[in-house]
Amino acid sequence: MYMLFILLLITCFNGALGDYATVATACRGELESSLPTINSQDEQQFLNKLINKYKIVDSVWLDAGVKDKHIVWTDSTSADYENWIPGRQINNSNCVEMVTDQAHIGQWLDEPCNKKNAYLCKRVVMWSGQRTERLIRDNRRVLDNYMKHTTILLNSAIAIIEHLLVAQQDTDAKIALLEQTKVPIGFIYTQLPDQADPKTLWPTYTWSDVTATYAGQFFRAEGSGSLAFGKGVQAENSPRLSNVHYESTVDYAKDITLIPGEWSKYIYSGSEITGATDYFLKFWMTGGEVRPRNQAVRIFRRVK
């Protein structure tokens, strides 16, 4: 089972401001979300676009503190990416905000935690390939819930979701690719000698060894002399003499060859003592398959 994560941002533009603790608590409590975290240039640029598009003028608290003059994200994610305004002393006792003025758009600044900043909360949505409509529906519910507690420009929030849906088309394409390449439940894997066990190839799946169901049986492609598909196990067979027939006074041969699936020619077998009648035999050789050379295989079925 795979999961992809979509970052969903919900902003409050009504001019409400709060210190770090207040805004962090508001984000966590009401929205099951948190203040923004930024772990890459891409995420930073995405936030910068939001600042521009929705004309956010106040600085925004990030979900982080400072240690040894470096960012420490509250969710313990990587601090490899940093975007501080250059040339400033970083105070380990401060909180971290993202500034919104054009000169330093999106860059980080440490400020006393009791400074009042704008509300900007992010919500991480687990996305497992459901329809887009469902995402919108779920988030309208979240927005409605949010509106009970604070004033929000609903249209702006919806616009942000729509903006994200564009980014999601790319994600949907990736999901489609995953759907094509994943192994479905019920998939049958035939392990040939010297080839990998399916538990090695797909360690996250659960495989059941169903070999015993087919113990000792051969498989042949449908058609030709094969029993029809699903009609059970074909009886074993090989060419053998199965019928003999006698007749009197027929054309006959001195030498005969037994051909599978055909009556042979007659061959002389003797006559009555009186010499009045001669008797002849013919033979039936069954048709059948030649037993193949073979190796045992193992058959697995994905069950979970």
Ligand X SMILES: *[C@@H]1O[C@H](CO)[C@@H](O)[C@H](O)[C@H]1NC(C)=O
Binding site for ligand X (CB under 6 A): 91, 93-94, 112
What's the min distance (Å) between Cβ of 166 and ligand X?
39
What's the min distance (Å) between Cβ of 39 and ligand X?
25
What's the min distance (Å) between Cβ of 113 and ligand X?
7
65 or 239, CB closer to ligand X? 65
52 or 91, CB closer to ligand X? 91
Rounded CA gap, 132 and 172, in Å?
Answer: 9
Rg from Cα positions in the chain? 39
76 or 93, CB closer to ligand X? 93
83 or 94, CB closer to ligand X? 94
Q: How far is CA 298 from CA 84, 153, 186, 213, in A?
A: 59, 62, 15, 11
What's the min distance (Å) between Cβ of 91 and ligand X?
4
47 or 66, CB closer to ligand X? 66
What's the min distance (Å) between Cβ of 63 and ligand X?
18
What's the min distance (Å) between Cβ of 81 and ligand X?
24
Rounded CA gap, 46 and 44, in Å?
Answer: 5
Q: Which of 71, 64, 63 is nearest to 33 (CA)?
A: 63
* Residue showing tokens 């030649």: 290
115 or 163, CB closer to ligand X? 115
63 or 110, CB closer to ligand X? 110
**Which distant-in-sequence residues (6+ apart) come within 8 Å of 193 by Cβ?**
295, 296, 297
20 or 207, CB closer to ligand X? 20
What's the min distance (Å) between Cβ of 6 and ligand X?
35
What's the min distance (Å) between Cβ of 117 and ligand X?
14
